[in-house]
Amino acid sequence: MALDLGVFCKSTLDGEVVDHCFSALFGLGQNADPSYLDWLMKAWGWTLAVAGLGLAIALVLGAVMGTLRTLPDTGRSSRLLVRLSTAWVELFRNIPILVQVFLWYHVIPSFVLPLKALPSYWLVSIALGFFTSARIAEQVRAGIQSLPSGQRAAATALGLTTAQSYRYIILPMALRIVIPPLTSESMNLIKNSSVAFAVSVPELTLFAMQAQEETSHGVEIYLAVTALYALSAFSVNRVMALIEKRSRVPGFITASNDAALAH
């Protein structure tokens, strides 16, 4: 079975070959029909937008919730925060991502009316962000708990408040430790963004389904989409590796051995 990549240069309107493959995207062909390649690139842009926004939400919320789960027991308010963050993690970890997307898209806007003004891809990003934040929180918590307890004790001995010891002692080390697991969670988020098809965000998976039906060149379409997902996830992997390298504290964490912190 030979692959026919010519399908990407066909018009999405009438199926005829267009003059310039990138016609609409770069404005090469004046008033030309958009090709499947144009559509594919736009869909990729949607995937990156949904995943990027979701990742920002997930990283911020995940770091906050993971930190709160490790708060020392200093009174009622700290106990309340620990319980709250634990409930957060359990709630968003135990509901499938597709169901959460439906909740954010169909259910929550009827209760929280301002959400109705948001474009639908925002709602998917929020769903993805909250879902992933529960997983990131678990990694952050594990990272904080992997620190030797002497670190926290030393901070207390220096007279730092809880907030200060997190800000200056615990988090700078813990957030570096969790970069590798956060990398795989970020790649998962890109893969999970494919559920946005279910609420008609015009991203890669929806493109794959619709273009497959229109052109009956499913294999070529799916190959391109799969390659773009892999490329996106791989790029995130490289960026995170770069961050890990740049943020490394000399003498502490090495790429080969995350447990070297125990020194």
Partner 1 sequence: MLSLDLSFYNWELFTNYILKGLLFSIQLTVLATIGGIVFGTFLALMRLSGRPSLVYPATFYVNTMRSIPLVMVILWFFLLIPMLIGRPIGADLSATITFIAFEAAFFSEIVRAGIQSVPKGQTYAGEALGMTYGQNMYLVVLPQAFRNMIPVFMTQTIILFQDTSLVYAIGAYDLLKGFEIAGKNYGRPIETYILAAATYFVICFTLSKVVRRIQAKVAIVR
Residue number, 177 or 211, with CB nearest to partner 1: 211
Residues 6+ apart with CB under 8 A from 49: 121, 125
Whether the CB-CB separation of 168 and 74 falls below 8 Å is answered with no
Kindly state the smallest distance separating residue 234's Cβ from partner 1, in Å.
Answer: 8
For residues 91 and 242, which CB has a smaller minimum distance to partner 1 in the complex? 91
User: Which tokens sit at 28?
Assistant: 């090469």
Residue 127, CA distances (Å) to 76, 111, 154, 173, 196 in order: 30, 16, 39, 29, 10
Whichever of 33 and 258 has its CB closer to partner 1, that residue is 258
Rounded Cα–Cα distance for residues 205 and 194 (Å): 6
Contact 58, 132 (CB under 8 A): yes
Q: How far is the CB of 111 from partner 1 (least distance, A)?
A: 7
Per DSSP, the residues of 102-146 read HIIIIIHHHHSGGGGGS-HHHHHHHHHHHHHHHHHHHHHHHHHHT
CB of 253 to partner 1, least distance (A): 22
DSSP string, 24-71: HHHT-STTPPPBHHHHHHHHHHHHHHHHHHHHHHHHHHHHHHHHHTT-
Distance of closest approach, residue 214 Cβ to partner 1, in angstroms: 14
* Paired tokens of 252: 């502490």
> Of 171 and 189, which CB lies nearer to partner 1 in the complex structure?
189
Which residues make up the interface to partner 1 (CB under 8 A)?
1, 90-91, 93-100, 102-103, 106-107, 110-111, 187, 190-195, 197-198, 205, 208-209, 212, 218-219, 222, 225-226, 229-230, 233-234
| Nearest CB to partner 1, comparing residues 22 and 121 | 121
> How far is 103 from 195, CA to CA, in rounded Å?
13
To partner 1, the closest distance from the beta carbon of 181 in angstroms equals 15
CA distances from residue 109 to 51, 138, 203, 247 in whole angstroms, order as listed: 21, 28, 22, 40
CA–CA distance, 28 with 100 (Å, rounded to integer): 41
Report the residue number, 60 or 91, with the smaller CB distance to partner 1: 91
Nearest distance in Å: CB 139, partner 1:
15
Our CB check for partner 1 shows the closer of 11 and 194 to be 194
CB of 155 to partner 1, least distance (A): 30
Per-residue tokens: 125: 């990003």
